[in-house]
Amino acid sequence: IHRLDVQTSGPIVCGSSPKAFKQLRESLHYHKFYKEYIALMHGALPVRQCCGEMDYPLLTTRERGYSGWRTCVDPHGQHALTRYEAVAAYKYSEGHGKTQRYTLVRLQLITGKTHQIRVHLMELARR
C-alpha cells in the first residue's frame, strides 16, 4: 500500500490479507501513520532555522518527453506540511580550501506528497 522512492531505504508496508490491506490503506489515507525520516542535506542551516515547519504547497506534473514526474513548490499546488529539526552539522574539507557543509535533519511528514522531503528541503535551503 506504500512505496518509497528508489533512492530511499526503509520499510515497505503491505497487507497480508484483503482485510489488512483495506485497513492499512485507510490508515494511510487518513494520515494515521507516524512517518519520520532522517536526511543528510547539503548546506548548513542558520541557527534561526534549526527547527520548525515547512508549509510549502507542492504541485506535481508529468513532464513532456520525460518518463517521470516533476514536483515543485507552487501556490496552486496541494497543501504539504513537514516538521523538521537539525540534529547535527558537518564540515568536509576536500583540500584546496574547499569545504562542504552538511546538516543531518530529522523530518516528520504530516502530509505525504510526491517528493515532499526533497522539494521542501530544497525550498528551505533557498530561503
Q: Are 104 and 27 in contact (CB under 8 A)?
A: no
DSSP secondary structure letter of residue 63: P
Spatial CA neighbour of 38 closest among 100, 95, 94, 88: 88
| Helices marked H in 2-127 | 18-29, 116-126
Which position among 5, 53, 55, 85 bears the catalytic label?
5
5 catalytic, yes or no? yes
C-alpha cell at 7: 533512492
- Cα–Cα distance, 63 to 69 (Å, whole number): 6
Q: Which residues are catalytic?
A: 5
